[in-house]
Structure 1
Amino acid sequence: MPLLLLLNNKTAITDEWARAGMTTEAIIFFADNHVTKEMLYPEFEAVLDRVVGISEFAGQQVPAVYLRIDAQLNVTAAVFFRLGFDGRGNADNSWNIPLQHLADKGARGPDLGAGVIKLSCRSQCAVSWHQRELWDPVTDSKPTTFEKIAALLKRNRLGLTVIEPEPVVQAQQNIPVLSEQFSAGQAAPANDAVRKQLQDDFKQRQAALLDEQKLRIATLKSEAREHVEKLHRHYRSEAAALALKHSEALQALANEKSISRRYKETLEAQAQNLHDEREQFQQNVTAAKNIETQQVAALEQKFAEELRATVDTATAELKEMLEMREVELFYREEQLGSLREEISQLRTERQALLSDGGDKLLSRLAQAGITFVAYQPGLDHLSVPQPDLFAYLESPSGYVAERYGVDQSLYEQWLAHYQLPVCRHKVDDSVCGEPITKVERPADFIPNDSDRCSQHDFATLHADKKEQA
C-alpha cells in the first residue's frame, strides 16, 4: 500500500519540486548502451528496500545512472554505477554506494544544456573504494551515452513538470547610427564589446571540449588498465599451469629414476649371484668329469631348479615390495581425507561460535550505517561488507588478494617487494639488493621479473643463456 501511494503521488512530488526551483532525482538502467528502464528516485529506494523487485534483471549485474534534473529537463549531475540483482529480481542488500554524495563531489563533465554537469564514473571517482563498482559512459561512438540521456529526458516519459525559463528582457541600448560624421573612435567601444563576447563564447566552447576530451582520455586509460590487468591474470594463470606441469614432470622423473635405480641394483645383485653359482657349477662339472652321466644330469637339474627358485624368490620379493608401497599410499590417502574432514568440521564450529557471539553486534553496526574500511599497504582503503568480515579476520591477505583478483602467494610476494623494493636475484648465496622501482599495484607485479634489477631481469638472463649456448 505505501508503494501504491508513492507511485500515485509521483506527479505531485515533481510538480512541487519544479515550482520550488529544486532538481528532480531519477534512475535509468542500461543494457548494451541502450536504456531499458527509468524511474524516479523514491521508486528506486523502494527497489533497494526490496519492497518490489525487477524480474527482468534477475541474476544480472545491471549498469545504471543516477541523474539530477532541473525544471527544464536538463541534467545537472550524473553518477554511473552498477547494481546486482538475485535470482528473484531483488536488489543486492549489501549494496551501499552513496549516490547523492558522489553527485555532490563529482568532477567536471560535459555540458548537457544547463552548463557543465558534475560527473562521477569509474575513471573519475571522489571515493576511491567505490571506483570498482562504477562504470564509464560510451563516448567514442555516436550517439554517446550522454546524448542518449539528453534525448531520453526530452521525451519526458517520467512525466516531469517542465517550467520554461523566463525570457530575459534587455534594456534597449542606444545603438549609434553610422553616418559620415561617425568617427572610428566612437565605433571602437562597440567593437570591443562584440570581440569580448566572442572571446567568452570561444573560451566556454574550448573549456567544454577540453572537459569532454579529458573524460574520454580518462575512460580510455581505465579501459586500457582493465585490459592490462586481464592480460596479467591470463599470463599468471598460464605461468602457474606451466610451473605445475613442470613440477609434476620433475617429480615423475625423480620417481622413475629412483625405481630404475632400485631395479638396477636388484638385477646386478641377481646377476652376481648367478655368476657365482655358474662358476661354482663349472667347478663342480670340472671336478665330476669322471663321474657317471646320471650324476652330471642330476647336477644340471639341481642347478636349473635352484636357478628357477632364485628367480621366483626375487620376483616375489619385488612384487611384495610394490604391494606394500601401494598399501602404504592407500592408508596415507585415508588419513589425509580424515584430517581434511576434521579441519573442515573445526572451521565450521569456529565460524558458528564467532557468528553466535559477534554477528549480532556486527549486524547492529551495519544497520546503524557503519561501514568497515581496512587499510592495506600500497592500496586504497578497502570497504569490507559485514557478511565478509569473518573471512577478512581469518585471512586478511587472502581476502585482499581475492578482492583484487590475484593469488595470495602473488600478493604476499608483491607485499614483500612493496615494503623493500630491492633486487632479489641470488648471486653466490646472497641477494643482489640493488634498489629498483616499486610496483604500486599487485595486479602489475610479475614474480622473478618485477623484483629484479636491469642486470638480472628475465629478458637479460634469457639473452645471456642464449649467448652461452
Structure 2
Amino acid sequence: MSMQIKPQMVEAVMFFSERGICKEMLFPEFEALLDGVVNMPEFADEQMRVVFVMINPRLLIRAAVFFYLDFDEKGSPDSGWNLPLRHLAERAGRGPDLGAGPIRLACRSQCPVSWHQMHLWDPSLAPGNNDLVLLRDAAKRNALGLLVEDDSAQSVAPERLQMASEDTWHAPDPAREVAEELSEKLDQEHRLKTAQLIKQQRLRITSLSQQAEDELAKFKLASEEQSKNLQGQIHGLHQALRQQEELNASLKAQLVAQADGFQKSREEMTRQLRAIETHGRTETDILRTQFEAESQAKVAAAVVEYKEQIAIRDMELAYRNEQDAQVQQELERLRREREESARQSGDQILERLAKLGMVFVVYHPGAGHLTIPLQDIARYQDNPMVYAAAKCFVSETQYRQWLMHYQQPSCEAPLPSGERCAMPIDRIDNPSRFVVGDSNCCARHKASASRLRTVS
C-alpha cells in the first residue's frame, strides 16, 4: 500500500504589471529572491505590485496581502524590505468571498498594522478589471503545480447497501415543507451574496477615497511649490528693478554734478580769456603758451603716475592671485581629506549596520513609522521635517503648522484683546486634510473666516 501525500495550505507570491499577473512563485522561491540567491532582471529599477496569497488544497484563496517591492538597477529587491506577510495575513480583516468564504484581506485601506500601511496598495475592484478575480483565476489555473484535493464523493459498494423493510418506509414530506426549506435556503444565499457585494463595494469606495486623497495631496503640494517658485521669481525681479532704479538715479546725479562742473569751468575760462584779451594780444599768446605747456606737463606727470600705480596694482594682483590659488588648493585638499574621513567613518558604520539587517525607522506624527533607506539617511539628517512632509504629500510649512495643531488642538484665532481664542477643537490626524484658517479654528471663528472669504 503506497503512502498518499495529503495536500496542504500553500503560500505563494504573485507579481502584477499593467497587463495583469506577470509572475507567480512559491513563497520559498520568494524568500530566496529576498536573500539575494536569484535576481529578477525583468523588474530592474521598478516598483512592483506584489500579492502574498494563501491557497487551500481546493485551489481557493483564503488570505491575500497586497504590498509594494522595489528593485534596483540589477534586478535585486530592496535589502531594507521587512514586511511580516504571515502576521499581516493572520490579523487581516474580512474581504470578499472568492469561493471558500470571506478571505482575510490586508491592503492600504484595510491594514491591521498602521505603520505598514504606506507599503501596501489597494486592489482594483472595477468590473472587467478586478484584481481579486485575476488572483482567483490564477489560483484555479494552478500554474505552480500545487497538490489538489479530490472532492469526488467515495462511492459505496453495492454489497454494503441495506434495504429497509417495507413496513418501515415513510411517506415523502409534504410539498409545503419542501417549498419552505427551498425558500429559506434561497433567502439565506441571497443575503450572503448581498452582504458580500456590500463588503466589496465598501472596500472599493474606501480604496477610491484613499487614492483621491493621495492625488489631491500631490496636486496641492505641486501647486504650492509652483506658487512659491513664482513668488520667488517675482521677488527677484522686483529687487533687480529696485537696484536698477537706484543705479539710474546715482548715474543721473553724477551726470548733473559733472555738467555743473563743466559749466563752472567754462565760465571761468571765458572770464580769464576776456581778461587776457583786455591786456593785449601778446600777453594772451604768452599765457596761452604757458597754459598749454603746464597742461601738457600735468598730463604727462599724471600719465606717468597712473602708469606706476597700474604697474604696482598689476604686481599686487598677480601676487594675490597666486596666493588665492594656493589657498584654494589647500582648501580643496582639506575638503577632500575631510570628506574622505567622514565618509570612511560614517558610511562604513551605516553600511555595516545595514548589512547586519538593521533597519532605520523613525516616527513622525502624521507619517507614522518611516523606514529610511540607507541612501536617504543624509537627506533625512539635513532636514527631517522636509522628509516627513514629503511622505505626507504636504509642504514643510503646512506640516509644521499641522504639527502645532496636532500637539495642541485649540483655536488659534486672535481675539479683540490680542490673545488667542484657545478653544479646544477636534484634532485633524491627516496633514493633507489640514487647512490653515479652517482646521485650526473653532466653529465661531471658522464661520467668521468663511464670511470674510465670501465677502472678499
Normalising by the smaller structure, the TM-score range is: 0.7 to 0.9
* 1:233 to 2:221 alignment: yes
Aligned-pair distance for 1:439?
5.2
Moved more, 99-108 or 266-275: 266-275
Alignment correspondent of 1:144: 130
Aligned partners of 1:425 and 1:431 also within 8 Å: no
Q: Deviations over 1:119-140 (max 9, x none)?
A: 1112221222222222221222
Q: Residues 289, 344 of structure 1: CA spacing in aligned structure 2 closer, same or farther, 3 A cutoff?
A: same
Alignment correspondent of 2:11: 25
Structure-2 separation of matches of 1:294 and 1:73: 129
Structure-2 separation of matches of 1:410 and 1:108: 36
Aligned residues: 414
Q: Residues 405, 145 of structure 1: CA spacing in aligned structure 2 closer, same or farther, 3 A cutoff?
A: same
Q: Deviations over 1:429-457 (max 9, x none)?
A: x9784568765444455779977975997
Moved more, 87-96 or 257-266: 257-266
* Partner residue of 2:49 out of 63, 67, 79: 63
Alignment correspondent of 1:122: 108
Q: Deviations over 1:33-67 (max 9, x none)?
A: 41111111111111111111122212221111111
Alignment correspondent of 1:353: 345
Alignment-mate amino acid for residue 120 of structure 1: A
* Partner residue of 2:121 out of 122, 135, 138: 135
Q: Residues 434, 29 of structure 1: CA spacing in aligned structure 2 closer, same or farther, 3 A cutoff?
A: same
Q: Residues 83, 356 of structure 1: CA spacing in aligned structure 2 closer, same or farther, 3 A cutoff?
A: closer
Q: Name the Cα RMSD after superposition.
A: 4.7
* 1:93 to 2:90 alignment: no
Alignment-mate amino acid for residue 246 of structure 1: I
Structure 1 SS opposite 2:15: strand
Structure 2 SS opposite 1:381: strand
Aligned-pair distance for 1:219?
1.4
Alignment-mate amino acid for residue 47 of structure 1: L
Aligned-pair distance for 1:253?
2.0
Structure 2 SS opposite 1:153: helix
Q: Residues 101, 262 of structure 1: CA spacing in aligned structure 2 closer, same or farther, 3 A cutoff?
A: same
Alignment correspondent of 2:261: 273
Alignment correspondent of 1:247: 235
* Partner residue of 1:80 out of 66, 74, 80: 66
Alignment-mate amino acid for residue 396 of structure 1: P
Structure 2 SS opposite 1:276: helix
* Partner residue of 2:403 out of 407, 415, 430: 415
User: What's the % identity of the aligned pairs?
Assistant: 31
Structure-1 separation of matches of 2:47 and 2:339: 32
Structure 2 unmatched ranges of 5 or more: 156-168
Alignment-mate amino acid for residue 280 of structure 1: E
Structure-2 separation of matches of 1:337 and 1:193: 95
Aligned partners of 1:62 and 1:82 also within 8 Å: yes
* 1:212 to 2:200 alignment: yes
Structure 2 SS opposite 1:39: strand
Q: Deviations over 1:312-347 (max 9, x none)?
A: 99xx9xxx9xx9xxx9xx99x999999899778656
Structure-2 separation of matches of 1:120 and 1:457: 41
Q: Deviations over 1:359-397 (max 9, x none)?
A: 65675462xxxx554332344233345675676566433
Aligned partners of 1:30 and 1:37 also within 8 Å: yes
* 1:176 to 2:162 alignment: no
TM-score (norm 2): 0.73
Aligned partners of 1:424 and 1:433 also within 8 Å: yes
Structure 1 SS opposite 2:125: coil
Q: Residues 337, 25 of structure 1: CA spacing in aligned structure 2 closer, same or farther, 3 A cutoff?
A: farther
Alignment correspondent of 2:158: none
Q: Residues 200, 141 of structure 1: CA spacing in aligned structure 2 closer, same or farther, 3 A cutoff?
A: closer
Q: Deviations over 1:279-317 (max 9, x none)?
A: 4345445555634467778779979x99xx9xx99xx9x
Aligned-pair distance for 1:117?
0.7
Aligned partners of 2:34 and 2:77 also within 8 Å: yes
Q: Residues 336, 197 of structure 1: CA spacing in aligned structure 2 closer, same or farther, 3 A cutoff?
A: farther
Aligned-pair distance for 1:251?
2.5
Structure-2 separation of matches of 1:77 and 1:426: 53
Aligned-pair distance for 1:114?
0.5
Alignment correspondent of 2:187: 199
* Partner residue of 2:32 out of 24, 46, 50: 46
Alignment correspondent of 1:377: 365
Structure 2 SS opposite 1:102: helix
TM-score (norm 1): 0.71
Structure-2 separation of matches of 1:426 and 1:301: 82
Alignment correspondent of 2:140: 154
Alignment-mate amino acid for residue 245 of structure 1: Q
Structure 1 unmatched ranges of 5 or more: 1-14, 179-186, 465-469
Q: Residues 165, 264 of structure 1: CA spacing in aligned structure 2 closer, same or farther, 3 A cutoff?
A: same
Aligned-pair distance for 1:224?
0.5
Aligned partners of 1:378 and 1:440 also within 8 Å: yes
Alignment correspondent of 2:166: none
Aligned partners of 2:414 and 2:421 also within 8 Å: no
Aligned partners of 1:25 and 1:41 also within 8 Å: yes
Structure-2 separation of matches of 1:419 and 1:278: 77
Moved more, 235-244 or 335-344: 335-344
Aligned partners of 2:414 and 2:420 also within 8 Å: no
Structure 2 SS opposite 1:375: strand
Q: Residues 112, 235 of structure 1: CA spacing in aligned structure 2 closer, same or farther, 3 A cutoff?
A: same
Q: Residues 258, 437 of structure 1: CA spacing in aligned structure 2 closer, same or farther, 3 A cutoff?
A: farther
Structure 1 SS opposite 2:72: coil
Aligned partners of 2:11 and 2:53 also within 8 Å: yes
Q: Residues 425, 168 of structure 1: CA spacing in aligned structure 2 closer, same or farther, 3 A cutoff?
A: farther
Structure-1 separation of matches of 2:263 and 2:343: 69
Moved more, 77-86 or 447-456: 447-456
